[in-house]
Amino acid sequence: MATAVKRKHVNPYIAGCVVRRHAKAYLWTNPDGERSAYPFSYFVYDPPIMLQSKEAWGITDSGITYNLRQGTNIYDAFDVVGYDNYPNPSDVLEEWENGWMSTLAPTKVGNGMKLLTPGKSRVIAIHSRGWIDDYRPYREQYIDVPTVQNCFLPDDNPERRVHLKGDNMCASLHWQHVVGGDREKRLDRRVERTIGQKTYAGVMPIDGVEPECHYAAIAWRPVDEIHVVDTGIDDNAIKEALDWLINATAIPAALPIFVTDN
């Protein structure tokens, strides 16, 4: 099994959680795979899927859990994005759209990675501000962001008209309540927000409106590989991580494992 582990180069990227760490394992989406076959909107949940109860899914405030997709025998990785690094759902979506699709997957804490199936399993991004209860003011005071669709549903979907009228939560509203941005104009709510190495346009929250937010699934992507990062430090951490992963995922459906330099 150890000989099946190959090395590959991954271009370095500064994400909202900085860079990938030595000897840590990451779930990776191949940019030339399914992700390249569809527009980004295909992977965005519109509307977001609100989670009525974190406890029902076994998820915590941040990190990964592995859950069986309803009505199937396929497991997905539920990634609750940490608020400290990604206070906005748009931060996650912009980073994914920018092509960085790597998710820290803790090793030596259970063996859920062995449940993931190549070509079928997904990473599902969940954010604590993924659903806004009082979404109507944000549609009524909507400010156009040229780089963002005003609804992620196809033009021929009747539900799109409902979203544009403000009668349902819409994924485009993630860009209408962006915190931590730099204001562009004195009398405008437009801001520029930088997350890692990506800077994007958004709109700051409405003054005097405190939105009631809930955990919700905001997007998904395929999970194709497991990466273990080797930054060249001379220690036993890489061997220990690989030994654990190989033992934990040694079943026919397990994802391929690579050692990467970034």
Using 50, 70 and 90 to split pLDDT, how confident is the model at 60?
confident
- Between CA 29 and CA 95 the distance in angstroms is 13
| Domain ranges for the chain | 15-176+210-260
For 9, the 3-state DSSP assignment is coil
Using 50, 70 and 90 to split pLDDT, how confident is the model at 2?
very low
- Count the alpha carbons within 13 Å of 88 in the hemisphere toward its beta carbon: 26
What mean pLDDT is predicted for residues 32-60?
Answer: 88
What mean pLDDT is predicted for residues 224-239?
Answer: 91
C-beta of residue 148 within 8 angstroms of C-beta of residue 81:
no
* pTM confidence score: 0.93
- Residue 110 has a pLDDT of 59
For 215, the 3-state DSSP assignment is strand
- Residue 3 has a pLDDT of 42
What mean pLDDT is predicted for residues 10-30?
Answer: 93
DSSP-derived secondary structure for 12-30:
---BTTBSPPTT-EEEE--
- Residue 249 has a pLDDT of 62
Q: Mean pLDDT of all residues in the chain? A: 90
Q: Which two tokens stand for residue 56?
A: 């029902």
Judge if the upstream peptide bond of residue 154 is cis by omega within 30 degrees of 0.
no
- Residue 206 has a pLDDT of 93
Comparing 9-23, 43-57, 128-142, 147-161, the range with the smallest average pLDDT is 43-57
- Between CA 231 and CA 130 the distance in angstroms is 34
- Residue 109 has a pLDDT of 56
- Residue 253 has a pLDDT of 60
C-beta of residue 89 within 8 angstroms of C-beta of residue 129:
yes
